[in-house]
C-alpha cells in the first residue's frame, strides 16, 4: 500500500501553477492598483487541477503545497477541469484547510461542479466556509476577491483619487486647448446600473471613454446565459476595435453601477480627421499605445500558460 501511494503521488494533477503577479482577474485596474498587484501578487498561488482526484494524487498535491517555501496569503485551487474525485480525496483536501489556517492563508476553491460541491459539503467543508474557505463559480471570481483584499490592505488609511479618463489625455495631447477641442467631438451621457452601452451583434458605430462608474463586457451565450469577459472602471476605453474596423459587436457592454461615459461616433472621428488631422493623429497614437499594452499583457499570460 505504501508503494502504491508513493507511485500515485508522482502523478501530477496540477495543470497550471501561477502567481497573482502573472495571472489576473478580468477586472481592469488603474495603473497604481496594477503596480500593487504586481508587487504583492506573488503571495497568491493559483493551481489549476486536471483529471480525476483520489487519495494518491491528492497526497501529491498536498505535499507540493506544503513544500512551497514562499509566504502565501491566498491559495486558489481551480477544479474546472477535474472530472471527479473519491471520498478519500475530499478528506485529503481537509489537510489543505489545516495547512492554510495555520499559516493565515485564505483558501479559495473555484470551478467545482454540482456533484463535486456536494462531495465537498458532505466532507464538512460547508461548515468551515465561514472559517476561511471560500467557494467561487470560477477562477476569475476567486482572483477578483484576492485582488480586492490585497488592494484594500495596501491602501487602508489612504485616500486615492479616482482615475478620470480626461486626466490620461494629458500624455496624448500637448495642451489644454487641444483637450478642449477634442472634448467638443464627444457626447457625454450618464447610464444607470443595468443599462447597455453596446449591444452584441449590432454594427459598431462608436467608441466610449469611461469617466466614472463600472462596466462589464459580457459574451451573450444564449438561453439567458452570459460570460464575463472584462470588468472596467473609470479611465478605460471600450469599443475602439469595432469602431475602427466597422465590425459587428462581439460582446455587450453593460453598466454595473451608475456610470458616466463620453461617446465618440465614427462620424465624429471622420470629421476630426478632416478638420483637425493633428488631433486625430494624437488620438490614433494614444489608441495604438493602449492596444499595445493590452497585447503585451495577453502575450505575457500566454507565455506562462503555454510554458
Task: Tell me the average pLDDT of the chain.
Answer: 85
Q: Same structural domain for residues 59 and 173?
A: no
Condensed to tens digits (0 to 9), the pLDDT of residues 68-95 reads: 888 899 999 999 999 888 877 877 777 8
Task: Identify which of 204, 219, 218, 305 has the alpha carbon closest to the alpha carbon of residue 263.
Answer: 204
Assign residue 23 the CATH number of its domain.
Answer: 3.30.750.24
Q: Is the pLDDT of residue 5 over 60?
A: no
Q: Same structural domain for residues 95 and 177?
A: no
Q: Same structural domain for residues 227 and 171?
A: yes
What Cα–Cα distance (Å) separates residue 186 from each residue in 51, 123, 271?
52, 57, 12
Whether 184 is in a domain gets the answer yes
pLDDT for position 130: 46
* Residues paired with 248 in a beta bridge: 203
Whether 32 is in a domain gets the answer yes
Whether 202 is in a domain gets the answer yes
What average pLDDT does the segment 186-193 reach?
Answer: 95
Q: Is the pLDDT of residue 126 over 80?
A: no
Q: Same structural domain for residues 149 and 18?
A: yes
Q: Same structural domain for residues 125 and 208?
A: no
Condensed to tens digits (0 to 9), the pLDDT of residues 207-241 reads: 999 998 999 999 998 888 888 889 988 888 999 99
Whether 159 is in a domain gets the answer no
Indicate the pTM of the whole model: 0.76
Q: Same structural domain for residues 187 and 143?
A: no
Percent over 70 (pLDDT), the chain = 86
Which backbone phi and psi does 189 adopt, to 5 degrees? -150, 145
pLDDT for position 125: 61
Q: Same structural domain for residues 42 and 180?
A: no
Q: Same structural domain for residues 284 and 149?
A: no
What average pLDDT does the segment 269-281 reach?
Answer: 94
Assign residue 235 the CATH number of its domain.
Answer: 2.60.120.10
Task: Identify which of 269, 24, 266 has the alpha carbon closest to the alpha carbon of residue 139.
Answer: 24
pLDDT for position 74: 94
Q: Is the pLDDT of residue 105 over 50?
A: yes
Q: Same structural domain for residues 80 and 184?
A: no
The number of angstroms, rounded, from the C-alpha of 275 to the middle of its chain's C-alpha atoms is: 39
What is 241-282 written as a DSSP string? HHHHHTPBPSSEEEESSSEEEEEEEHHHHHHHHHH-HHHHHH
Contacts of 176 (CB under 8 A, 6+ apart): none
Single residue among 110, 126, 154 that ends a domain in this structure: 154
Q: Same structural domain for residues 297 and 172?
A: yes
What average pLDDT does the segment 98-125 reach?
Answer: 83
Single residue among 154, 183, 209 that ends a domain in this structure: 154
Distance CA 68, CA 157 (A): 32
Whether 190 is in a domain gets the answer yes
Condensed to tens digits (0 to 9), the pLDDT of residues 127-157 reads: 555 456 788 999 999 999 999 999 998 887 6
Whether 160 is in a domain gets the answer no
Q: How many CA atoms lie within 13 A of 307 on its CB side?
A: 9
Q: Same structural domain for residues 7 and 142?
A: yes
Single residue among 135, 154, 173 that ends a domain in this structure: 154
Contact 57, 124 (CB under 8 A): no
Whether 69 is in a domain gets the answer yes
Report the domain count for the chain.
2
Q: Same structural domain for residues 94 and 130?
A: yes
Which domain does 286 fall in, by range?
A: 165-306
Amino acid at each position: 500500500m505504501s508503494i502504491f501511494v508513493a507511485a500515485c503521488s508522482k502523478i501530477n494533477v496540477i495543470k497550471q501553477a501561477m502567481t497573482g503577479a502573472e495571472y489576473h482577474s478580468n477586472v481592469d485596474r488603474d495603473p497604481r492598483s496594477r503596480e500593487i498587484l504586481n508587487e504583492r501578487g506573488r503571495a497568491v498561488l493559483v493551481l489549476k487541477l486536471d483529471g480525476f482526484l483520489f487519495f494518491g494524487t491528492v497526497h501529491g498535491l498536498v505535499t507540493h503545497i506544503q513544500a512551497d517555501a514562499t509566504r502565501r496569503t491566498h491559495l486558489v485551487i481551480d477544479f474546472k477541469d477535474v472530472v471527479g474525485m473519491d471520498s478519500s480525496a475530499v478528506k485529503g483536501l481537509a489537510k489543505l484547510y489545516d495547512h492554510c489556517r495555520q499559516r493565515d492563508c485564505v483558501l479559495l476553491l473555484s470551478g467545482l461542479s454540482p456533484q463535486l460541491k456536494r462531495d465537498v459539503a458532505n466532507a464538512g467543508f460547508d461548515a468551515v466556509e465561514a472559517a476561511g474557505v471560500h467557494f467561487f463559480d470560477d477562477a476569475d471570481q476567486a482572483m477578483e476577491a484576492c485582488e480586492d483584499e490585497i488592494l484594500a490592505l495596501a491602501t487602508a488609511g489612504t485616500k486615492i483619487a479616482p482615475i478620470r479618463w480626461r486626466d490620461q489625455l494629458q500624455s496624448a495631447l500637448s495642451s489644454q486647448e487641444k483637450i478642449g477641442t477634442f472634448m467638443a467631438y464627444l457626447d457625454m451621457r450618464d447610464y444607470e446600473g443595468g443599462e447597455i452601452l453596446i449591444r452584441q451583434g449590432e454594427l459598431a458605430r462608436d467608441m466610449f471613454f469611461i469617466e466614472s462608474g463600472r462596466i462589464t463586457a459580457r459574451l451573450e451565450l444564449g438561453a439567458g446565459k452570459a460570460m464575463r469577459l472584462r470588468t472596467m472602471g473609470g479611465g478605460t476605453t471600450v469599443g475602439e476595435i469595432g469602431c475602427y474596423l466597422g465590425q459587428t459587436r462581439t460582446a455587450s457592454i453593460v453598466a454595473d453601477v451608475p456610470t458616466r461615459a463620453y461617446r465618440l461616433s465614427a462620424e465624429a472621428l471622420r470629421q476630426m480627421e478632416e478638420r483637425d488631422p493633428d488631433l486625430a493623429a494624437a488620438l490614433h497614437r494614444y489608441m495604438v499605445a493602449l492596444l499595445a499594452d493590452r497585447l503585451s499583457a495577453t502575450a505575457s499570460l500566454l507565455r506562462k500558460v503555454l510554458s
